[in-house]
């Protein structure tokens, strides 16, 4: 799959003219970035270009390390202009940064390269006047963009909603306005952030930025719905996506979010099932929510859950939150966990069950002699009172182990 370069929307000719005028007046390189430090427009060089600036012009955005550094200075929360220090290891010269705000909205950042970290009064006054004009221009453009995003969000939410009539109307409307082509296959991905970790508008901007590269690709046409700490990506495809393709897409989205957001945001991704036709969008969405729940509960998934890889966990994770607790762990398994050497015996039991009860394969996997394995299995049977040759007893124990995996540490009765 080929993904469009993820970058900010190019600035308007009017905004570009303001940037060029300020740069010529100062004799310094000037740029306007969006709140995620992605370039919107830039002036010509004045002999003060650095590797970061050159790389941004070539790639359409600075590299992730530079973005992380600038955001770490707290520039998106500044109430007044200020300098950020250069970083030789990043190839970054000092910059004078002005937050561009209008009516409480952070619209972007005016950035001036100032290697000496010193500006005269006339220069700062010129920058302030230009910043006011840029903020007014960007606010008008912001309103237009927000209107488009709101319409797209409403359409996507209707397509994945539970109301059959609303879904039908949304499919008809999407085709009428040209947002939806002939959809042979549909896939919904959900991205969730931890609550209360970021300023809402910054979180929304980061979610949109991480997903926008997947709205239109060579193999997919999509819609995005962003709402505070959650985002939905609905993709229409001519063919079902491969597992590697989906894994790569999810990894890229996570990388983008971890660049733009503080680690406390702790993003997770849930990928729904692949379904034929747009009618399956709501089912894929519901499955994506379950997969995201798995990603939040299972560290082994590394923040990405895929419905089609969840197996029996897909059933367990549809239980209400209050019901998914230690009481679901069978008493025989809790007894085993509490016994002397319980951790070792649980690991042995898990390995035995995951190897379908094969003694040779289990012994090899554990790196122990078969005699030792037989001894441990006898201990397990004595402690649990269950027969490992009985299929129903095996299912009880295996499902109990998988359930315990979903519980928070210390709540599964194992300690």
Encoding tokens for residue 334? 């809790």
Q: Are 211 and 224 in contact (CB under 8 A)?
A: yes
Query: Residues of the chain whose pLDDT is less than 50?
Result: 1-8, 409-415
Q: Residue 312 — φ and ψ, nearest 5°?
A: -65, -20
pLDDT in the model for residue 16: 95
**Residue count (the chain):** 415
**Closest alpha carbon to 336 in 386, 295, 407:** 386
**Closest alpha carbon to 335 in 394, 409, 386, 374:** 386
pLDDT tens digits for 226-251? 987 899 999 998 888 889 999 999 99
Q: Are 272 and 186 in contact (CB under 8 A)?
A: no
pLDDT in the model for residue 216: 83
Secondary structure class of 200 (helix, strand, coil): helix
Q: Residue 276 — φ and ψ, nearest 5°?
A: -75, 130
pLDDT in the model for residue 410: 38
Domains assigned to the chain = 13-141 (3.30.450.40), 181-316 (3.30.70.270), 323-406 (1.10.10.2840)
pLDDT in the model for residue 279: 86
pLDDT in the model for residue 238: 84
Q: pTM (2 decimals)? A: 0.76
């Amino acid at each position: 799959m080929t993904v469009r370069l993820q970058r900010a929307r190019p600035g308007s000719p009017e905004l570009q003219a303001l940037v060029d005028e300020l740069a010529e007046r100062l004799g310094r390189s000037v740029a306007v970035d969006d709140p995620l430090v992605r370039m919107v427009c830039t002036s010509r060089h004045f002999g003060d270009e650095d590797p970061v600036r050159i790389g941004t012009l070539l790639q359409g955005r600075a590299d992730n390390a530079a973005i992380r550094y600038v955001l770490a200075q707290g520039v998106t929360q500044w109430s007044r202009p200020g300098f950020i220090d250069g970083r030789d290891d990043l190839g970054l010269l000092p910059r004078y940064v002005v937050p561009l705000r209008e009516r409480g909205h952070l619209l972007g950042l005016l950035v001036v390269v100032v290697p000496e970290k010193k500006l005269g009064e006339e220069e700062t006054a010129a920058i302030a006047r230009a910043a006011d004009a840029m903020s007014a221009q960007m606010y008008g453009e912001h309103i237009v963009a927000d209107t488009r995003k709101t319409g797209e969000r409403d359409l996507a939410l209707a397509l994945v909603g539970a109301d059959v009539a609303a879904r039908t109307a949304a499919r008809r409307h999407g085709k009428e306005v040209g947002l939806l082509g002939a959809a042979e296959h549909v896939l919904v991905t959900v991205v969730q952030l931890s609550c209360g970790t970021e300023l809402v508008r910054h979180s929304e901007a980061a979610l949109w930025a991480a997903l926008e590269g997947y709205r239109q690709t060579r193999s997919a046409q999509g819609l995005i719905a962003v709402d505070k700490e959650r985002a939905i990506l609905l993709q229409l495809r001519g063919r079902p996506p491969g597992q590697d393709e989906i894994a790569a897409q999810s990894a890229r989205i996570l990388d983008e979010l971890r660049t733009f957001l503080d680690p406390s945001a702790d993003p997770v991704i849930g990928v729904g099932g692949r379904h034929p036709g747009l009618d399956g969008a709501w089912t894929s969405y519901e499955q994506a929510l379950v997969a995201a729940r798995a990603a939040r509960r299972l560290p082994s998934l590394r923040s990405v859950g895929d419905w089609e890889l969840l197996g029996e966990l897909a059933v367990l994770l549809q239980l209400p939150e209050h019901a998914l607790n230690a009481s679901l762990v069978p008493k025989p398994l809790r007894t085993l966990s509490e016994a002397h050497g319980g951790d070792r015996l649980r690991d042995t039991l898990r390995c035995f069950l995951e190897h379908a009860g094969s003694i040779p394969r289990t012994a090899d996997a554990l790196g122990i002699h078969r005699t030792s394995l037989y001894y441990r299995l006898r201990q397990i049977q004595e402690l649990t009172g269950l027969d490992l040759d009985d299929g129903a007893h095996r299912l009880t124990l295996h499902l109990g182990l998988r359930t315990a995996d979903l519980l928070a540490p210390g709540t599964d009765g194992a300690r």
